Amino acid sequence: MLRALALAPLLSASGIVLGREGIDVGQTSMFARLIPAEQIEKVAALQYRQMLQQAAAAKKLAPAEHPSVRRLRSIAGSFLRHTVGWNPRAKDWKWEVHLIQSKEINAFCMPGGKIVFFSAILDTLRLSDDETATVMGHEMAHALREHARERLGKSTATSLGVSLLGQVLGLGDLGRELTNLGAKLLTLQFSRSDESEADLVGMELAARAGFDPRAGISLWQKMAAASKGAPPQWLSTHPSNDARIGDIRASLPKVLPLYRPASSATGRP
């Protein structure tokens, strides 16, 4: 049985952080409103469960007692009371964290708080807890800021514009885009602005949870070393590692004041 991360006890015990000290990235895109949040979260949960079933069948799904799974769930758990400040829906999400054995250096968080880490990102990069928290915060930020919902909303707006003309001509299906969400969700690519926003929001989440936001610098240095030969920034949907490091350095003055008291409260060095 899949185990959901327990959010309710953490919220009730620790309270909800709603202050807007720290990072300011503005409101979510209006395009996200074109896709019902409940629908995309339902589709994401289905896709997530299917992925875990496939991983389990291939004996690639790490068990709950695996040390890395315990570590990831502990880090994610420390973030949860800070998520509602970025998205009120997060208090009702059934957060889950799983580890899949894979040589791919990757991690993601699907809408509704469904998180997967691939083992290579921990093992190949030899991530510290602070660096792992940076990755965790980045991926959770994509879900909290509803980047997938926004991307699909933009795609739907374009398709529905064409389909509307088809309706006038007696052709097309306005509901087709919504029924195809599942097929699109796993192949979705975020924009450079989405990635940059997730870096900054994730850095704040990590800082509030007591993890050193400066770890983003060493993380992206490791990523740069592991991705030699990658295409230049303007050919990729991801910002360059140097650009990310520059943005992190520029934003540190906003999040270090959040990190220091949180670190003291949690007993982290």
Taking only the tens of pLDDT, the chain with its 269 residues reads: 334 554 444 443 433 444 467 777 766 666 556 677 888 899 899 999 999 999 999 999 999 999 999 999 999 999 999 999 999 999 999 999 999 999 999 999 999 999 999 999 999 999 999 999 999 999 999 999 998 888 777 666 555 543 443 344 343 443 454 455 555 666 667 888 889 999 999 999 999 999 999 999 999 999 888 877 565 444 455 677 788 899 999 999 999 999 999 988 776 66
Q: The tokens of 143 are what?
A: 């879900």
Specify the pLDDT at position 122. 96
Token pair 């990757």 in the structure block, residue: 106
**What are 109's strand-pairing partners?**
115
* 130 touches 211 (CB < 8 A): yes
Extract the tokens encoding 199.
């870096």
Residue 119 lies in a domain: yes
Spatial distance between the Cα atoms of 152 and 146, rounded to a whole number of angstroms: 10
Identity of the amino acid at 97: V
CA-based radius of gyration for the chain: 19
In a domain, 4, yes or no: no
Question: What is the rounded distance in angstroms from the CA atom of residue 208 to the CA atom of residue 257?
Answer: 9
- Is residue 242 one of the residues assigned to a domain? yes
Number of domains in the chain: 1
In a domain, 65, yes or no: yes
What is the extent of the structural domain holding 177? Answer: 33-257
pLDDT of res. 52: 97
SS3 167: helix
The verdict on whether 139 is a catalytic residue reads yes
Q: What is the pLDDT of residue 32?
A: 57
Note the pLDDT of residue 91: 94
Tokens for 40? 């995309």
Catalytic residue among 41, 139, 195, 204: 139
Residue 13 lies in a domain: no
Residues 34, 156 contacting (CB under 8 angstroms): yes
Kindly state whether residue 47 falls inside one of the protein's structural domains. yes
**Is residue 226 included in any domain, yes or no?**
yes
8 Å CB contact between 129 and 137: no
Q: What is the pLDDT of residue 83?
A: 96
Question: Is the residue at 103 inside a domain?
Answer: yes
pLDDT at 173: 46
CA distance 70 to 177: 38
> Do 216 and 248 meet the contact criterion of CB atoms below 8 Å apart?
yes
Range list of H helices, the chain: 8-14, 37-57, 67-79, 119-123, 129-144, 147-168, 176-179, 181-185, 192-208, 215-226, 241-266
